[in-house]
Amino acid sequence: MYNFDAVIIGGGLAGLRAAYELVNNKIKTALISKVYPIRSHSNAAQGGVNAALGNIEKGLPDNWEKHAYDTIKGSDYIGDQDAIMKMCKEAPYRIYEIEHWGCPFSRTDEGRIAQRPFGGSGFPRTAYATDRTGHAMLHTLYEQIMRKNEKNKYLTFFDEWFVTKLIVKDKSVKGIIALDLKTGDLHPFRTDAAIVATGGVGRIYSKSTNALINTGKGLAIAYRAGADLKDMEFIQFHPTTLYGTNILVTEGARGEGAYLLNNIGERFLKNYEDSKRAMEIAPRDIVARNMIREIKKGNAVNNLYLHLDLRRLGEKLISKRLPGVIELARKFAGINAITEPIPVEPAQHYTMGGIDVDINCRTKIDGLYAAGEAACVSVHGANRLGGNSLLETIVFGCIAGEAAGEYLSKIKKKNERMYLMESALREEKKGIEDLYKREGNESSFKLFEEMSIAMWNNIGIFRNEVQLKEGLENLKRIKERCNNVGIRYKGKRFNFELYWLLELIGSIDIAEAVIMGAIERKESRGSHYRTDYPKRDDENYLKHTIATYSPEGAKLSYKPVTLGYVVPAESYFISRRILTPLLPSGSPAAALCAAPAPCILMENTALPVRHRF
């Protein structure tokens, strides 16, 4: 049995940033990851990270208020505005922090951190390291943790381990059970605090930019242990992925000035009312929908895909700022992006929903926290702006680590858990042994593929009641067939038949929450687009969807959105002008505006409503 004060599940940017905070406070911590941390999906983030640094000024100077306003507007007004303000206020501080740790951001001629425009933003506020920003940030953070851990040894890595169960008693964390993939043995970890930072759920879709590890299992573990999921129906589809492989082609390409073209070389986004103003840097949900509309009109190249054209940017700029795009296009599409357009299509990219947490990353289970894409604070609402996901990982990863450390300093540790851990381990071992004994003829690999295809076909970019209910019925049939999955290979070391069966069971739980939330949200908002309910309905659906686990399926309820800064408007495209906050003197929101970064808001802060812009 292992004993740790805190356990972090997931080794990407959010998990590593939480680990840094815990190690810095000399808290004995375990970090458990299915892969080595520097192989985490954070590596795949290309375009950049948002912060109102104001390094590339055009007209009025940028500031955190404008960043918050663009984020609220981009969320289609269902993001919690106190959390968004907190993230945007802290953004410059966290960017300069990781820069001082050694992150090699691209630079302006004056030596400042370079910034580029991204979709839905009124200013060029996306800092970047060419088009490998996630890679640069992940390696920088990992190096800093290793440097700090070299001195005090408070952090232990468990690489290629797989968490199967979260142990909860009396609504508080008592430990976890994890499978060592290398040996096939289950081990209990006794702990008082756990942070889930396992990323998104993209692999429940057949077309996704996500790594194979992004199955949603981390969310499913917390979900079955009693934590709620929030806003799972909001799934983001990225407009530009390589046709066929769905490898991401960064939004940074469009931010630098690349065009989207149809089969006659026309910039077709000008033909749609909601994208004709911002064109290629309109919000992702709008661009993705209009690309599908253009394909359905018969205007696709070879009736299959559209073109992303970088050629007008010139070889020098493309080579300097988008070297990763050149490499990906050459290796995976056989295209020279300097002289040829790139074939692209929309695909699933990001999960706006996640484990329901408050502004301090706390769940309703004492000692359980979540951060990054696995969590829903909610700072993205119905549609995430490009560049805000990397920002979320370092802002709320830090906050999760701080909150867990504060919790651990206050609780009284109890030693009567030995029986509880032994009982949980016996139960989990029996469950695994029962899976090994199955002799059914179904394949977990095949069922996972069928599930992901059904999700793409029925709960994709365009949705309606008939498709959604058909998708739910398909999922129920797949869930039943899981009981007939047989494991042919009986060995324990790296048994991927067992591994993918466990992943599949968790993914089905998450997919069910996505579908049921989508069925009940009878409106269109952000990435959730219902052809049978094409308008946004603030009167009935300006609220968060909450999914609670039950063996019979997800039980849905709702909670209010935290407003108080921007009044919801009818359209994304209202004035970007930011007014001086009209807030009562001495109010929490006025203090937030006046306070230096980083700023910590109190939980459930009531913010007065601002004037419509």
Active site residue 254: yes
Q: Which helix (H) or strand (E) holds 480?
A: helix 465-481
Backbone angles phi, psi at 483, to 5 degrees: -70, -15
How is residue 501 written in tokens? 């069966």
Establish how many alpha carbons lie within 13 A of residue 129's alpha carbon, considering only the half-sphere containing its beta carbon.
20
Which residues lie closer than 8 Å to 33 by C-beta, 6 or more apart? 9, 10, 11, 15, 40, 157, 158, 159, 160, 161
How is residue 250 written in tokens? 């960064």
d(CA 305, CA 528) in angstroms, rounded, equals 22
Active site residue 41: no
What percent of the chain is helix, strand and coil (3-state, nearest 5)?
40, 20, 40
Q: Which helix (H) or strand (E) holds 22?
A: helix 13-24
- Dihedral of the CA atoms 367, 371, 376, 381 (nearest 10)? 150
* Residue 280: DSSP 8-state: G
The count of other CB atoms within 10 Å of the CB of residue 224 is: 16
Backbone angles phi, psi at 463, to 5 degrees: -135, 155
E strand spans, 526-579: 543-548, 555-560
How is residue 470 written in tokens? 């058909």
Q: At what angle do helices 496-520 and 418-437 cross, to 10 degrees?
A: 100
How is residue 255 written in tokens? 């931010």
- Dihedral of the CA atoms 77, 80, 84, 85 (nearest 10)? 100
d(CA 316, CA 116) in angstroms, rounded, equals 17
d(CA 142, CA 17) in angstroms, rounded, equals 9
Q: What's the gap between Cα 157 and its chain centre?
A: 23
* Residue 535: DSSP 8-state: S
> Are 58 and 123 spatial neighbours (Cβ–Cβ below 8 Å)?
yes
Active site residue: 254, 289, 362, 521, which one? 254
d(CA 525, CA 521) in angstroms, rounded, equals 9
Active site residue: 17, 116, 203, 238, which one? 238
The phi-psi region of residue 220 (left if phi > 0; otherwise alpha if psi is between -120 and 50; otherwise beta) is alpha
> Are 404 and 193 spatial neighbours (Cβ–Cβ below 8 Å)?
yes
Which residues lie closer than 8 Å to 578 by C-beta, 6 or more apart? 63, 65, 66, 69, 613
How is residue 513 written in tokens? 């929450």
Annotated active-site positions, please? 238, 254
